[in-house]
Amino acid sequence: QVQLVESGGRLVQAGGSLRLSCVAFGYTASGYAMGWFRQAPGKEREFVATTDWSGEYIDYEDSVKDRFTISRDNAKNRVYLQMNSLKPEDTGVYYCASDQLLRTVRRGGATYWGQGTQVTVSS
């Protein structure tokens, strides 16, 4: 059974850092693009970051560039999101996504999704 499980979300003060982790079960994620999305209360889910299967191609949403870093460890079937200089507007449920096609992940149509991990940034 294919499953993505996120972890690492918690309450943090503005200016702080968090590292989210997503582990893939049931398939070999090394052949798949991976990404992170987030959904704030009352808002639609939005793209945060994505990386291709090799980790060499990376794309970020503009508001997180220079603050967030996506990385992956294919040997561990994991993708990470290092979040620095967190702001209250970064609050939301963060979802991991995976698909064979990077463009599919990027536009929010990934085949596999996790259940999400809550990130709350207090001011």
- Tell whether the model's pLDDT for residue 29 goes beyond 90: no
Contact present, 94 and 6 (Cβ < 8 Å): yes
pLDDT digits (tens, 9 = 90+) for 48-106: 999 999 989 999 999 999 999 999 999 999 999 999 999 999 999 999 999 999 999 99
Query: Is the per-residue pLDDT at 31 higher than 90?
Result: no
Q: pLDDT-based confidence at 30, cuts 50/70/90?
A: confident
Separation between Cα atoms, residue 46 and residue 61, nearest integer Å: 9
Pairing of the two strands 112-113 and 92-99: antiparallel
